[in-house]
Structure 1
Amino acid sequence: MATTIPARDEQSADYVPPPRGGRYENVLLAVLFSTFGFVFFDRLALNYLTPFFKDELNLSNADVGLLGGIPALAWAVAGISVGFLSDRIDRRKSLLIAAICAFTLFSALSGLVGGLASLLLFRALMGGAEGAVLPLIQPMMMHSSTPRRRGLNMGLVQGSSAGLLGGIVGPIVTVWLAESYGWRFAFYATVIPGLVLALLVLKLVRDLRLRHPATVAMDADVPDVPSTGGLGAALRSRNVVICLLISVFYLTWFVTTQTFTPLYLAEMKGFGAGQLGFVLSGIGIAWVLWGALVPGISDRVGRKPAMIGFSVLAALSPLAIIGIDSPGLLFVTLIVTYTGLGCFTLFMATIPAETVPRAVMATALGLIMGTGEIVGGFVAPYLAGLLSDAFNLNASMLISSGAAAVVVLLSFALKETAPIRVARRTQRAEAQ
Structure 2
Amino acid sequence: MKYLVARPWGGYERRMITLLSLSFGLVGLDRFIIMPLFPVIMRDLALDYQDLSMLSAILAFAWGGSALFMGAAIRVLGTKKLLVLSITLLSLLAGASALITSLVGLVLLRALMGVCEGAFTPVSIIVTDEVSQPCRRGLNLGIQQALFPIIGLCLGPLLAGVLLEVFGSWRAVFAIISLPGLLVAWYLYKTYQPTRAPSTASIAHTSRSQWRTALSSGNVRLNIALMLCILTCQFVLCALLPSYLTDILHLSNFSMAMIISAIGLGGFFGQLVIPGLSDQLGRKPVVSICFMISALLVGLLIISPPLPWLLFLQLFFLSFINFSLICITVGPLTSESVPPSLLATATGLVVGCGEILGGGVAPVVAGYIAMTWGLTAILFLALAGSLTGGLLSLWLKEANPLFNGLKDYAPLSARLTLEDK
TM-score (norm 1): 0.81
Whether the aligned pair in 2 keeps the contact of 1:244 and 1:371 (CA below 8 Å) is yes
Matched, 1:332 2:321: no
Q: CA deviation at 1:24?
A: 0.6
Greater shift, 167-176 or 357-366, is seen at 167-176
Q: CA deviation at 1:281?
A: 2.5
- Among 71, 76, 79, the alignment partner of 2:64 is 76
Alignment of 1:373-388 (within 5 A): 373-388=355-370
Whether the aligned pair in 2 keeps the contact of 1:171 and 1:277 (CA below 8 Å) is no
Aligned to 2:157: 171
Distance 1:366 1:395, change over 3 A: same
Amino acid at match of 1:162: F
- Among 196, 211, 220, the alignment partner of 1:240 is 220
Aligned to 1:220: none
Q: CA deviation at 1:77?
A: 1.6
Distance 1:174 1:277, change over 3 A: farther
Amino acid at match of 2:387: A
User: Aligned partners of 1:210, 1:142: CA distance in 2, in Å?
Assistant: 17
Matched, 1:59 2:45: no
Amino acid at match of 1:329: L
CA-atom RMSD, angstroms? 3.1
Q: CA deviation at 1:352?
A: 1.3
Q: CA deviation at 1:90?
A: 6.3
- Among 225, 229, 241, the alignment partner of 1:261 is 241
Aligned to 2:118: 131
User: Aligned partners of 1:179, 1:321: CA distance in 2, in Å?
Assistant: 35
Q: CA deviation at 1:84?
A: 2.3
User: Aligned partners of 1:117, 1:318: CA distance in 2, in Å?
Assistant: 37
Matched, 1:162 2:148: yes
Percent of residue pairs bearing the same amino acid type: 30
Whether the aligned pair in 2 keeps the contact of 1:18 and 1:206 (CA below 8 Å) is no
Aligned to 1:364: 346
Matched, 1:42 2:30: yes
Greater shift, 110-119 or 295-304, is seen at 110-119
TM-score (norm 2): 0.83
Alignment length (residue pairs): 395
Amino acid at match of 1:260: L
SS of the residue aligned with 1:420?
coil
User: Aligned partners of 2:399, 2:63: CA distance in 1, in Å?
Assistant: 27
Q: CA deviation at 1:391?
A: 4.8
Aligned to 1:342: 324
Q: CA deviation at 1:353?
A: 0.6
User: Aligned partners of 1:392, 1:22: CA distance in 2, in Å?
Assistant: 54
SS of the residue aligned with 2:69?
helix
User: Aligned partners of 1:170, 1:48: CA distance in 2, in Å?
Assistant: 8
Q: CA deviation at 1:358?
A: 0.3
Distance 1:93 1:265, change over 3 A: farther
User: Aligned partners of 2:99, 2:369: CA distance in 1, in Å?
Assistant: 30
Distance 1:130 1:278, change over 3 A: same
User: Aligned partners of 1:321, 1:237: CA distance in 2, in Å?
Assistant: 37
- Structure 1 unmatched ranges of 5 or more: 6-15, 213-228, 427-432
